[in-house]
Structure 1
Amino acid sequence: MTNIDETQVPELKQKLMDEINKEIEKRNLSQSQVGELAGMSRVNVNKLLRGTEKSIALNQLVKVANALGIKIELIFKRTKIKR
């Protein structure tokens, strides 16, 4: 099982947001389309991607990343998550 050190959470969130934004741009998706894929409202997707919601949960980012087919395991490995 993977244990995430609390000090790693901000870095993980930022990396996930970067990857999500790259994938959205690459696929030319609207926030509404991303919301449909992830089962979220466009407003929540907007808040998530703009980082305006200070309490963005890591699991919300993971949900969007999974919906876009992003391999989050690779991001976790690159961040050197403690095992």
Structure 2
Amino acid sequence: GPHVPRELALVKVVGTGDKRVEALRIADIFRARVVDSSHSHFIFEVSGDSGKLNAFTELMGPLGLADISRTGVVAIASGAESL
């Protein structure tokens, strides 16, 4: 039946200069949150459906995508039904 699926990913992007600025701009569009950073990398936390996470990682690829850790999909039935 109807459900709400979500997935969580941690995405490491390594880069400097304009690539860092672009990575932050894309993260803002996807509502990703910076959970760790240094002068040479960001780790973003992003959640949503699998399509959103796939799109985010594809855009980060040319900007220095270094690593991804994904939870897999979790879901809950939608609607007001109780257990």
Q: Which of the five TM-score ranges fits, normalised by the shorter chain?
A: 0.3 to 0.5
With the length of structure 2 as denominator, give the TM-score of the two structures: 0.35
With the length of structure 1 as denominator, give the TM-score of the two structures: 0.35
